[in-house]
Amino acid sequence: MERSDVIILGGGLVGLTMAAALDSSGLSAIVIDPADPAPRSEAAFDGRTSAVSSSSMRMLETIGVTAHLGAPGCPIRRIAVADGLKPGALHFDADEEEPLGVMHENRHLRRALQARAESGANIQLLWKSRVAKIDRGEHGVLVAFEDGRRLTAPLLIAADGRNSWTREAAGINIARWKYDHQAIVSVLRHERPHDHVAYEIFFPSGPFALLPMNDDGVGHRSAIVWSVPNGDAAGWLSLSDADFAAEAEAAMGGFFGKVEMLAPRSSFPLGFHHAAQITAQRLALIGDAAHAIHPIAGQGLNLGFRDVAALAEVLVEGARLGLDLGDQQLLTRYQRWRSLDALSVAFATDSLTRLYGVPGAAASAVRRFGMGIVSKISPLRDRLKSEAQGTSGTLPLLLRGLAI
């Protein structure tokens, strides 16, 4: 029977980051995932991107992930928020030392994290492995596979996504609802430079985000995340590239000049869920297994990275004190550390989605008045900026760029 300090279910972006964070401090992890990693690591660009906050980038550098990135990301120097194409946009500008965040293609992040995990001295990757049974007992966790193999560890970490069967098996309740929207994602080439500005334009039909990307030798590029009503999504996806680009150009008021498509369009349903608790007996939830939010502020992946940083610090410090890594006091510390932050970000994005979805000239005028007030009150503006950078609250060491 193989043994490790933790067993991680899920080899996605958050699960592999968890393994790397523990490995960088000498703790061992076995990562289990039923998927074959080859198609994901060899995939061509599919239009999916992530805005990685400045604090998350500090962690990725500290735990050795950025050394494996095959392509640099595009720094975000300004975030511009607007109510439609009306005047009165709200701006957040980066400091000279550090951008607000960095845009990365998801395929580059996946490859870097997989390479980091494969080079980890304390990481074992079990791809294409199917679990038959998990027993979280009083004295440890036992994982049995369909082929008869068995693993044991003091703690199980669930990073198995929105529909986490580990969470369901533990009987953890969640608050969940669906939005009547789908997000269409792709990448555009545009005539004028983006100047490292990320735009969030709110229309009554749904938010429209433009996120700056490096030109990659093909001209000025921006990722697009366009939330459209469920009933319209099929129609938007059926448009020709030229027609969709023309609609996108109109939605942005033509401020980027001529626009054309550079990647296939894909869509995914939008929803919200938040676990009532993120721990159980010898179990900790991270990433989408714990919470999933609207992509309106680009914080979904960063919430998962914040889970990783907090849990890694709790476990490493517990190991140095000689504690059982599944000890309830360690899990309680993680629960307290992450619960309020995750819940506040989740409900802030949900409220923002609903607020900007209210139609009518009066509602628009109120929103623009509010943005004008925020732009004039420095402490409030700075608080919102720190939320975007992921630097609010009590930051774990890794998010400050410090080793545990």
Is 163 domain-assigned?
yes
Three-class SS state of 150: strand
Residues 282-297 have a mean pLDDT of 86
d(CA 55, CA 49): 18
pLDDT of residue 351: 56
Residue 155 lies inside a defined structural domain of this protein: yes
Contact 82, 331 (CB under 8 A): no
Q: Which residue has the tokens 């720190």?
A: 386
Per-residue confidence band for 178, with pLDDT thresholds at 50, 70 and 90: confident
Gap between the Cα atoms of 201 and 12, Å rounded: 30
Residue 253 lies in a domain: no
**Residue 306: its pLDDT value, please?**
94
Residue found by looking up tokens 């198609």 in the block: 39
Provide the number of structural domains found in the chain.
1
Average of per-residue pLDDT values in the chain: 86
What's the Cα-to-Cα distance from 384 to each of 345, 390, 391, rounded to whole Å?
11, 10, 10
Q: Residue 64 is part of a domain; what is its CATH number? A: 3.50.50.60
Q: For the whole model, what pTM was predicted?
A: 0.89
Give Cβ neighbours of residue 192 (< 8 Å, ≥ 6 apart).
Answer: 220, 255, 256, 257
Q: Which phi-psi region, left, alpha or beta, contains residue 145 (left: φ > 0; alpha: ψ -120 to 50)?
A: beta
One-letter identity of residue 227? S
> CA–CA separation, 57 vs 101, rounded Å?
8
Task: Return the structure tokens found at 19.
Answer: 């393994």
Residue 30 is part of which domain span? 2-176+271-400
How far is 330 from 332, CA to CA, in rounded Å? Answer: 5
Tens digit of each residue's pLDDT (9 = 90 or more) over 269-279 = 888 888 999 99
Residue 182 lies in a domain: no
Can you say whether the dihedral through the CA atoms of 249, 254, 256, 257 is positive or negative?
positive
Q: What is the pLDDT at residue 47?
A: 74
Q: Has residue 285 been placed in a domain? A: yes
The predicted pLDDT at position 273 comes to 85
For residue 185, tell me if it sits in a domain: no
